Amino acid sequence: MNQAAGDIIQLISSAPSLGHQPGMESIVAPYGQLPRVIRGRASLLDELTDAVLRPHPHPRVHVLHGIGGSGKTTVALEVARRAQTSMPVWWVSAAGADTLSSGMRQLALALGADIEQIQLAWSGQASASDLVWSLLDARTDHWLLVVDNADDSQLLAPAHGRVAGGTGWIRHPRSARGTLLVTRRSRDPRLWGTWAELRLVDQLSPEDGAQVLLDLVGATAGSESDAQALATDLQGLPLALRLAGAYLRESVTQPPWPGTSPVRSFAAYQRTLRSRFTLLDTTPPGQYEDRTQQELITRTWELSLDLLHAQGKDQPRPLLRLLAHLADAPIPFVLLLDPAILSDSPEVGPITFEQLHRALTSLADLALIDMTTRPDPNPDNPLAYTLSLHALVRATNREHPQVVARRPEYLDVLGASMHKVTDALDPDEPAAWPAWQFLAPHASSLLELLATSVDIDRETARELSRAAQGSADYFGALGMYERAETEYRAVLDVQRLVIGEDHPDTLSTRHNLAYTLRDRGMLEAAETEYRDVLAVRRRVLGEEHAKTLVTRNQLARVYREQGRYEEAEEEFRNVLAAQRLTLGEQNLDTLITRSNLASMYFVSRKLDEAEAEYRDILATERRALGEDHLESLVTHGNLARVLAEQGRFDQAEAEYRDVLSAETRVLGDEHPDTLTTRHNLAATLAAQGRQAQARKEFQAVLEARERLLGPDHPNTRQTGTALALLAAPPDEPV
């Protein structure tokens, strides 16, 4: 790992506030996004607040619909703010599959679901939506749940069902004390059935729109009548009004350079907008289509970018277009926007860190992006700094004709950026998980864009595929096997199209997919996938190539888990013989296969043979790799497990304590391997009847695993179950 990568890991590792509950979305309403004054929504806000605060039998589901940029989220936020002192309020974003799933999982935790329930639901073995709604319906107090940006109906409905059926994420609360508030663009009464009330969040009147402009700019930009005229042309769209107000607030500070004509007033902005947007003159008020609204927003932010150009700032425009290719999720711009990579791009051109910061600040000043600094004890943590785009600003930029024409170039820049960052982050390493939490949605979004592009660059495809594969590995490390499988299959679709079925990267992804299928308990599917990969690797690489032998080793592990012990042992022996011949006795792959073969002795209850083999492997690993190498420590732990299984608990405890001491020194006291050893030590203490000590150890491991791995990780669930099964501790000193 290079120094830069090490620095990234060091900074992220020192940020515990971002490392808790990896992959979880906050379910606290983002009240900081509220404007100082909300104009033109008094009646709607009062009606919704009354519906939330007072128990009404019907309806308990309110759908706020309206065109993009109409202020639906602002209305929902204000209702949530008013309700928060009287009841629990939860906020879940449905902008994408990841954010919706993570938010609902966090909600289940907040509602009191135990670790085993969550693991079953989010591994696909039970219904996650049933779990959440059973907990909501069981509450006896008032509560409010907001599901924001619920535009994708397929995410809301159950598999092979409809939203109106009320069995997906959106349901009618059984209690008159619960309220569900949903924001989305489309009205579509057929989607909701009869149990939801649809409420239009319409454009603002000219009078209210003028007040929004005056709130932002003040009277220096012109009269109230001028503001009303501009608000009319902006169709009372709050997002457009915000962009125009931010523009005028910025333009008043622009010097009157020779050859420039600063737009400083409502009237001047209106004239300029009309010269760019002829549809304003030809479409009757109230009859604008979505395309017209999007074009209006495009013209508005283009005027803002023109202002920056007039100020000599040319880099914000390509930066905004670049950012529009990322997902509807917080963007960790300190990690992703590397001036060295941007400078090599013809889209952005030479740029320094200082220039990059100024360009982003300029975009934020004009309300084109929102920059957020998250609370963190370490101000040097790059993940504390994120930015976001309004969904409509993202969409209009992403689909701008000039951007579509240059999409391969933008994807090339982002591919290089993603590759540089993710290549330094081991998805299996908890220290890297906070970064993956932010990066995974963008890796998926970029891969999806790449898959729909006409002109796909081979190197860009490889870089983005590897980043997306890393995110799949991350989901697998968290125990989110179903999500990992989905990501692997998306990566495979691109790899097969661009680099071919037989490419090493494609085979690596298929190999990891098979690993995930095995973890999901889908052993037949895993076997099929491993056999297919093995056939290609035998043909392309040869029978005794190292990767071919690794696949054979993993296939034998599937046999073992299927209970086909004779086949597994025979294959482990065959692989081991080939590895000894081609790789040598002290090669890491050879030693791993020896450990797998030793495990066959263990499951076959040949404990003496298992002990002898593990001792011999451990001696070889210590000579070849060193006492503190990870594989040496794993084998040492396996030896301790055999001793415990033989009933030699005193010896097992001593070995576990030796392993624990080494792992704490080498890996740290909260590394997953360290926690595994501590869990096994606790089990050994329990087997000796020292239950108070065992309970103390299990509790410490459980707290650490919940914090580092998340409460729904299989290892966390294992420790929670072990703790629950312990009898009440006798009165013994701890």
Q: Which residue has the higher pLDDT, 238 or 429?
A: 238
pLDDT level of residue 81 (50, 70, 90 thresholds): very high
Least confident range from 233-237, 414-418, 721-725: namely 233-237
Domain ranges for the chain: 41-200, 206-310, 617-734
Least confident range from 234-238, 351-355, 704-708: namely 704-708
Domain at 41-200, CATH homologous superfamily: P-loop containing nucleotide triphosphate hydrolases (3.40.50.300)
pLDDT level of residue 258 (50, 70, 90 thresholds): low
Secondary structure of residue 54 in the 3-state scheme: coil
441-468 core/surface letters (b: 16 or more CB in 10 A; e: else): bbbbbbbebbbeeeebbeebbbbbbbbb
DSSP-assigned letters across all residues of 558-619? HHHHTT-HHHHHHHHHHHHHHHHHHT-TT-HHHHHHHHHHHHHHHHTT-HHHHHHHHHHHHH
What pLDDT score was predicted for residue 727? 57
Quick check: do 41-200 and 617-734 share a fold? no
Over 90: is that where the pLDDT of 146 sits?
yes
Distances, alpha carbon 508 to alpha carbons 121, 285, 505, in Å: 29, 57, 5
Least confident range from 273-277, 428-432, 622-626: namely 273-277
What pLDDT score was predicted for residue 656? 95
Q: Tokens 């073992």 belong to which residue?
A: 560
Over 90: is that where the pLDDT of 339 sits?
yes
Q: For 679-698, what is each residue's pLDDT tens digit?
A: 999 999 999 999 999 999 99
DSSP-assigned letters across all residues of 650-669? HHHHHHHHHHHHHHHHHT-T
Strands 197-200 and 61-65, sheet pairing:
parallel
Residue 35's closest CA among 91, 67, 64, 77? Answer: 77
User: What average pLDDT does range 180-197 have in this prediction?
Assistant: 87
Q: What percent of the chain has pLDDT over 70?
A: 91
Residue 8 CA to residue 364 CA, distance in Å, equals: 25
What pLDDT score was predicted for residue 280? 39
Number of Cβ within a 10 Å radius of residue 174? 14
- Spatial contact of 631 and 612, defined as CB atoms under 8 Å apart: no
Predicted TM-score (pTM) of the model is 0.72
pLDDT level of residue 11 (50, 70, 90 thresholds): very low
Tokens of 515: 């690993």
Over 70: is that where the pLDDT of 557 sits?
yes
Over 90: is that where the pLDDT of 531 sits?
yes
pLDDT level of residue 114 (50, 70, 90 thresholds): confident
Residue 529 CA to residue 508 CA, distance in Å, equals: 12
User: What average pLDDT does range 285-290 have in this prediction?
Assistant: 43
pLDDT level of residue 293 (50, 70, 90 thresholds): low
Q: For 536-553, what is each residue's pLDDT tens digit?
A: 999 999 999 999 999 999
pLDDT level of residue 311 (50, 70, 90 thresholds): confident
Task: Name, in order, each residue with C-beta under 8 angstroms of 723's C-beta and a sequence gap of 6 or more.
Answer: 695, 698, 699, 702
User: What average pLDDT does range 165-188 have in this prediction?
Assistant: 89
Residue 470 CA to residue 448 CA, distance in Å, equals: 15
Q: For 12-62, what is each residue's pLDDT tens digit?
A: 433 333 333 334 468 999 888 898 999 999 999 999 999 999 866 667 899
Over 70: is that where the pLDDT of 733 sits?
no
Tokens of 267: 């009237």
Q: Which fold has domain 617-734?
A: 1.25.40
Mean pLDDT over each residue of the chain, to the nearest integer? 86
User: What average pLDDT does range 184-198 have in this prediction?
Assistant: 85
What pLDDT score was predicted for residue 276? 65
Through-space distance between the first and last CA atoms of the chain, rounded to whole angstroms:
43
What pLDDT score was predicted for residue 292? 59
Q: For 365-380, what is each residue's pLDDT tens digit?
A: 888 888 888 777 777 8
DSSP annotation of 144 reads: E
In the structure, how many helices (H) and strands (E) does the chain have? 36, 7
- Spatial contact of 445 and 326, defined as CB atoms under 8 Å apart: yes
Over 50: is that where the pLDDT of 282 sits?
no
